[in-house]
Structures are given as structure tokens and as C-alpha cells.
Structure 1
Amino acid sequence: MKYVFLRYGKILFLFLAITDLLFIAFQKDFLRLFTKPLLMLVLAVYVMYLPAAKNKNTWLIISGLLFAAAGDTLLMFENSNANMFIFGLASFLITHLLYILYFIKIPQVKPTLLKQSPIIGLLLLAYIINFIFCLYPHLGPLKVPVIIYTFVIGSMFLFSIHAYNSLDKKIGFRFVLGALLFVLSDSLLAYSKFMTTFPLHGLAIMATYCIAQYLIAEAMEYS
């Protein structure tokens, strides 16, 4: 099993991701029950078998992927049960907190990028505040959980930048780009759910999400 996942795990993930995107494109939502829940599970098992798994902090990334798999599954049932959105949001909130903890635990051997370029943090804060301001009138009873979630995912991106200078460039680049795409994916999701849909929104949300998680998992390959 270990050999299979190390050799073919990423290929299996890409196959599932492309298949899931095709199901979205052709509006075969019921078939996504067989693809979407497996995506993050495959990445979690892949990371579990990497040499990096010997690092005691790798469990944070693996657990984050497992909570993301739970969130993916729960959100598939939000149309039949409104509570599923809250449960899914909570699952992804835990994912981001686990990723934040992983980034915090990376030893700082160089001055952080945020200290060198504080404008990055200010721009991110401005984006978060502006995004919440736009969403706020449309959130209804979900105001508090969505605002909390928005600040947490923004913090996850911020801590990936914080860790960047202390990592090998190909690792840091994947973490930062993965975190950025995660923010983009969730921004698109929130915009389409609470404000208005846009052409190919489902494909855009899922594609950016899959690439984001793939990059975060792949960063562990080089750790």
C-alpha cells in the first residue's frame, strides 16, 4: 500500500480531481458522492506515507486534510439540511487552525517575510475587511461564523508567509501559493453563495481548492 501511494498517490488525486470537475461541468452532482469525499483522503494517505511523516508535526497537515475531507462531504448535503453548512464550515475551520499550528511550529531561522515587507500583512487585512464589508448584508444568521472563518483563513495565509523565509524555497512557495489559492477558493465560494453566482463558479471554486490542497500536500514531499 505504501509503495502504491508513494508512486501513484498524486496521479490518483489528479484523476479524481479531473473526474470531479467533469461531474461539475456536466451537472452530475449525485456522481460527486463517489469523487469529492475521496479527494482529501487520498492526499492525507499520500502525505502519511512520505518520509516527512517521521516529523512529529506532519500529523497537523494530515489531520487538516482529513478534516477537509469531512468538510467536503458535509457540504454536499447542505441543500437538504442547512446545518450541514455550519458543520462543514467548522470542519474547514479546524483544517485552517491545524495548518496555522504547523506553520507556527516551523523554526524561524531567518527574519520573516512579514517583518521585511509588512505591507503584505496590511494588504491582506484590507482585503479581509473589505470582503466582510461586502458580504455582511447578505449573511443573515451566519454573520458571526462566516466572519470568524474569514479571519482564520486569512491568518492561515499570513502564517504561511511568516514561515516562508525559514523554508526551502520550493517548500515555502508551495505553502504560500497553496494558502493563497485556498483563500481565493473560499472567497469565490462565499461570493457565489451569499451574493451572486457567476459563470463556471463551481468549476472555479473546486479547481482552485484542489490545486491549493495539492500544493500543500506536495510541499510535504520536499520537507
Structure 2
Amino acid sequence: MKRKSIIWLYLFLFVSLLDIFFTSNGENSLRFYSKPLIIPLLWAYFIFSSPELKGQLIRKAISAALIFSWMGDTLLMFPRLFIYGLGAFLMAHICYIVAFKVAQKQPFSVGNVNFIRLFFLNFPIYLFAAFVYFYIRGGIGELKIPVIAYLIVIVMMATTARERFNKTNTSSFWQVMLGAAFFLVSDGILALNKFYQEFPEAGVLVMGTYIIAQFLIVRGIMAHSEKEKAG
């Protein structure tokens, strides 16, 4: 099982690098073959690497997030389907929120909440989202409501990742947190390039940060389950 999972990981890394190469060289027609393969290969790596999670909500949530991400990747390849791709990624983030909540100690305990402290802990995430919206607000036009809804959901995804601090092992927390941060950066670059000002490096930066984000989130969730199994 471990050998099979490593093979899927190598295939994921190879296709990811191939897609970034095609992106950097403007080979958009070839990306129709590479881009739709990235997430399915990562999903296969996750499935073969986590047999202990079979049937559990956390596995279903991550699988759903990756399926919606694959749909988003595919739809975003067609400019006219942008709104549907945005919707698919919004669903992916909702699934990640569920996964992040489940992948922690006592996930549904409320306890005492210090809202002022919580606000300042999450402030860098809010600030980044506000920065992106400030620059793109003039270019989103009729997409204003779906874009704002998407911003709110991705901010919730990132803050849920941060709230796992001290509620899981260190490796799991930092991988998921960094993955969520890279997702924010990736979507921020995509939004600025599409709605504010295009720049030639955007494609590579978007895909590079996106691939890192997805991989770190999956690895972080796996690190949580591996620690739980061991201890």
C-alpha cells in the first residue's frame, strides 16, 4: 500500500511540474491534458495513503473537497464558465472547513471564546482579503456578490485552519495552516490578475501556490490521522 501511494505522489509531482512548464511557455492547449490530472493524482495518493480513514467523515470531506477542486480546475479552463468554477471552489472550501473541524481534538466543543483575541489572531487573514478586495472591487462588475461570497468562505477556511492551533499535532497544524495560506495567496493572485491588472507571471504563480496549497492540506490532514493512530 505504501509503495502504491508513493507512485501516485510521484505522478502528482510530475504532472504538476509539467503543467507549470506548459503554463510558463504559454502552451495552453497542452494544459487541457495536464491540468485536469493534477487533483485526481493527489486524491489517489490520499486514498492509498490513508486506509485507516476509510468510511470516516474526514476522508469523505477531503475527497469531496478534491472533487470540487478538480471541477473548478476544469471549469476555469473555459473563461465563460468562470462563475461555475468559482462555485466549485467555494464548495471545495466548505468541505475543507468540515475536514479542518473534524481533524482536531474535541472538534465540536465550544468553551469560552474571547472574540477580541480571536479577531487579532485572525487579523492578518482579514487584512489580506481586504487588500485583495480593495484592488479588484472596481473590476468585478456583476460578479460582485459571488466574489464577496467566495472571499468570505475562503477566509472562513483559513481561519478554521488557524483555529486548529494546539488542537492537533504540530506537523498537522502547520502543514494545513501553510496550505490554507498558500490557497489565499493563489486565489489573491488570480483575482488581481483577472479583475485588476494582468501580469505575465500570474499563471505560474497561481498554479505553483495552488499545487503547494492542495498538497500541504492533504499531507496535514494525513499527519493528524497518522498521529491519532500512533498515539
TM-score, normalized by the shorter chain, greater than 0.5: yes
Residue 148 to residue 52, structure 1, CA distance change in 2 (3 Å): farther
Alpha-carbon deviation of 1:64? 0.3
Secondary structure of 1:163's counterpart equals coil
Equivalent residues in 2 for 1:181-196, closer than 5 Å = 181-196=182-197
1:52–1:58 CA contact under 8 A, matched in 2: no
Counterpart of 1:171? 172
Q: How many pairs are equivalent?
A: 218
Q: Which runs of 5+ in 1 are unaligned?
A: none
Equivalent residues in 2 for 1:61-140, closer than 5 Å = 61-78=62-79, 82=80, 84-108=81-105, 118-140=119-141
Matched to 2:60, the amino acid is W
Alpha-carbon deviation of 1:117? 6.1
Matched to 2:47, the amino acid is M
1:64–1:96 CA contact under 8 A, matched in 2: yes
1:157–1:179 CA contact under 8 A, matched in 2: yes
2:132–2:191 CA contact under 8 A, matched in 1: no
Counterpart of 1:16? 15
Residue 59 of structure 1 pairs with residue 63 of structure 2: no
Residue 208 to residue 31, structure 1, CA distance change in 2 (3 Å): same
Counterpart of 1:34? 33
1:189–1:205 CA contact under 8 A, matched in 2: yes
Secondary structure of 1:138's counterpart equals coil
Q: Deviations over 1:61-112 (max 9, x none)?
A: 111011101110111111xxx2x10110010000000001112224445999
Secondary structure of 1:30's counterpart equals coil
CA separation in 1, counterparts of 2:43 and 2:211?
A: 13
CA separation in 1, counterparts of 2:221 and 2:47?
A: 10
Identity %: 32
Secondary structure of 1:65's counterpart equals helix
1:138–1:194 CA contact under 8 A, matched in 2: yes
Alpha-carbon deviation of 1:218? 1.4
2:135–2:192 CA contact under 8 A, matched in 1: no
Matched to 1:218, the amino acid is R
Secondary structure of 2:57's counterpart equals coil
Secondary structure of 1:76's counterpart equals coil
CA separation in 1, counterparts of 2:132 and 2:3?
A: 43
Q: Which runs of 5+ in 2 are unaligned?
A: 226-231
Residue 140 to residue 117, structure 1, CA distance change in 2 (3 Å): closer
CA separation in 1, counterparts of 2:159 and 2:105?
A: 15
Q: Deviations over 1:148-187 (max 9, x none)?
A: 1011111100000011321111111110000000000000
1:52–1:220 CA contact under 8 A, matched in 2: no
Matched to 1:122, the amino acid is F
CA separation in 1, counterparts of 2:32 and 2:46?
A: 23
Given the two structures, how large is their TM-score scaled by the length of structure 1?
A: 0.90
CA RMSD, 1 decimal: 2.2
